[in-house]
Chains A and B, each alone.
Chain A
């Protein structure tokens, strides 16, 4: 199986090279027969990549421990679903999956001969070639062991979680999707195509990728929230920040896309943001692979980080030079530009600047250890309080402009709305701590301004946008509540004890044990009741694995919209057990809000699907 995989990767590499060569020839010719040939080579390499990935999955499923990668990340008794997800538990498998995602996402582009004739397919094939070369010569996934072990070393218990199954693939789709706008931007400028056309084509890709990137980040946050020691759903860890950078720039990009093509700043901003977003996805990979910064999620360093850094620098210089040499194309003449500044345009521009400021600030803070080292001083690390103080005012400002968006088109309506809103704003300001006032008031304001658009939308797309904005506001409430209203107690209990925690009463019955072939589990189930009515149970347990001195703890979470009760079984000494109880207010709003954001974006994507395709078929 391993040899077949290696052969398939070579085959993919060969056909990608051929696709690039014939593609370059196709640009010159008139009739397009080479374009068709290119499309075939390009598609063949996708087929080979798919089969190679399938080969590695089969190796995992059949416990083929002769393959070093399988031996390192799997074991015989690993549940089926984690055998599949172990594919992306390591470096080479992640790269292979990423390459597969790029290939499948762009299949429509590859199969279209026109796309190769305008150079789009070539840019994508160059990126795929880069990945293939890495997989063949830097981190080969099909490396064989001379002396295969009987059993693999297994997947770390922390990674045996649904988060591991969902989160990485979502991020890969998000990252990969931004390749197409990037390729469109490059080819559009190189071939001096009509700038408005490629920018229009990039829009659906930006939306789709943004949706997946958002979902990837939120599921990552949810996973970190349920896993002990990862610092909650967002800890401003370098690896978490890495995924935030492209999200911030693509959010700006997303909004710029709805402005009319006559808008004066649209072309240059679109080009800049598309390039920035794609480069930041590469930068994210560099950060996670290079080990230059300390992270709880660190993926140890290696040569891969340096390669990505090199590519990043080269691409950055190239894009800057390209933009400069084609600057006339990116500027609108006075005759092309429509009426100067519109209310929506100004709003989006200001928000984009704020998003970029946020991105730059978080980037600065994340890289500060390196910056301080570079300037000869002692290495200095900035902790979460830096990021919170920096980002909260900026986030609130951005959300203010977002909330004001529906009323800005008609200057008078803001007055009418403020009149209607003074009561909820006042009420919200009265709730809770001083820091929360602004956030809750803002959320109330945003709900109010978006309500008309929710009830009587002018178009399907607008309805989707309103939903997405409302989702963000709901997330704002959740994030504010769960950061500011936290209770935290440690208690020592004996069987029969009850613990009063907030509004809840918890009954402790004692510990229970469960034995498996290679592990045993000690856990406790607490009955949780409120107003002397039982509401449910909370279970936390520790599993001890044979041959590992690392237990794995499962926390128990009792979730309501008002608050989450978080239980961690810390330890025990007969007959007492130690429990760590935490209460986070309004956490559930974050996850509910995120689903509304996804729904909103799906509505927008559906509305647009009637107008444009991801890759519109051309005749001839």
Chain B
């Protein structure tokens, strides 16, 4: 009886081990660390993939549709961060209150965005 129970236990642990293995394997290179703009400026985080949230600084946006290359600054109220994104200007870019970006710092200290997220305008407004 106890042998049978042990077997059942081992068998039910197998999927967990497998899942753990898969998750560990997948974890590499897919983690992005949350930093505020001030933190990112203060520390040396050149190698890591970061996720940074901030408000768009008005008049900081330049866009070259031919490349295409989008450059802008984000602020968290204290410090600014210049970022550049090689991609198409999203429709709701100027409109969005908050910009979330993922990427890394390049050698010149500019933030190279690999993924740009804007809060979808379908935003179900929170009611008080």
The interface-forming segment of A183-191, A377-385, A415-423 is A377-385
The interface-forming segment of B19-27, B75-83, B105-113 is B19-27
Q: Is the CB of A381 within 8 A of B68?
A: no
Chain A residue contacts of B119, Cβ below 8 A = 296, 298, 300
User: In residues 361-386 of chain A, which contact B (Cβ within 8 Å)?
Assistant: 361, 364-365, 369, 378-386
The interface-forming segment of A27-35, A58-66, A243-251, A564-572 is A564-572
Give the contact-size bracket for chain A.
Answer: 35 or more
Residue of A nearest to B49 (CB): A383
Q: Is the CB of B65 within 8 A of A158?
A: no
User: In residues 42-86 of chain B, which contact A (Cβ within 8 Å)?
Assistant: 51, 53, 63, 65-68
A572 to B15, CA, bound (A): 54
User: A570: which of B22, B23, B65, B92 is its contact (CB, 8 Å)?
Assistant: B65
Residue of A nearest to B117 (CB): A296
CB distance from B84 to the nearest CB of A (A): 16
A230 to B31, CA, bound (A): 21
Q: Is the CB of B32 within 8 A of A383?
A: yes
Q: Is the CB of B95 within 8 A of A549?
A: yes
Is B41 an interface position by the 8 A CB rule? no
Contacts A139-B127, A549-B94, A580-B88: A156 and B23 contacting too (C-beta < 8 A)? Answer: no
Is A550 an interface position by the 8 A CB rule? yes
Chain A residue contacts of B67, Cβ below 8 A = 490
Chain A residue contacts of B15, Cβ below 8 A = 353-354, 356-357
Is B2 an interface position by the 8 A CB rule? no
Chain A residue contacts of B32, Cβ below 8 A = 380-383
Chain B residue contacts of A291, Cβ below 8 A = 126
CB distance from A133 to the nearest CB of B (A): 15
Choose among A294, A301, A388 the residue with the greatest number of B CB atoms under 10 Å from its CB.
Answer: A294
Q: Is the CB of A385 within 8 A of B30?
A: yes
CB distance from A27 to the nearest CB of B (A): 38
Q: DSSP class of A's interface residues: helix, strand, loop or mixed? A: mixed
Count of chain B residues near A, Cβ 8 A: 43
Is A606 an interface position by the 8 A CB rule? no
Contacts A291-B126, A300-B126, A380-B32: A357 and B91 contacting too (C-beta < 8 A)? Answer: no
Q: Is the CB of A228 within 8 A of B90?
A: yes
A568 to B117, CA, bound (A): 19
Contacts A228-B91, A550-B91: A379 and B26 contacting too (C-beta < 8 A)? Answer: no
Is B1 an interface position by the 8 A CB rule? no
A394 to B21, CA, bound (A): 12
Is A207 an interface position by the 8 A CB rule? no
Q: Is the CB of B92 within 8 A of A229?
A: yes
CB distance from A533 to the nearest CB of B (A): 31
A7 to B66, CA, bound (A): 58
Chain B residue contacts of A552, Cβ below 8 A = 91
Residue of B nearest to A140 (CB): B127
User: B127: which of A302, A357, A578 is its contact (CB, 8 Å)?
Assistant: A302
Nearest first, the 5 A-B pairs at minimum CB distance are A571-B65, A302-B126, A389-B26, A299-B124, A386-B30
Residues of A within 8 A of B (CB): 72, 89-92, 94, 138-139, 156, 158-159, 228-230, 289, 291, 294-302, 353-354, 356-357, 360-361, 364-365, 369, 378-390, 393-394, 490, 492, 548-553, 568, 570-573, 576, 578, 580
Besides A357-B15, A364-B23, 4 new A-B residue pairs in contact (Cβ under 8 A), listed by A number: A91-B127, A298-B119, A300-B123, A387-B26
Q: List 18 A-B contacts (CB under 8 A).
A: A91-B127, A296-B118, A298-B119, A300-B119, A353-B15, A357-B15, A369-B34, A380-B33, A381-B31, A381-B51, A383-B31, A383-B32, A388-B26, A550-B95, A568-B88, A570-B68, A570-B89, A580-B68
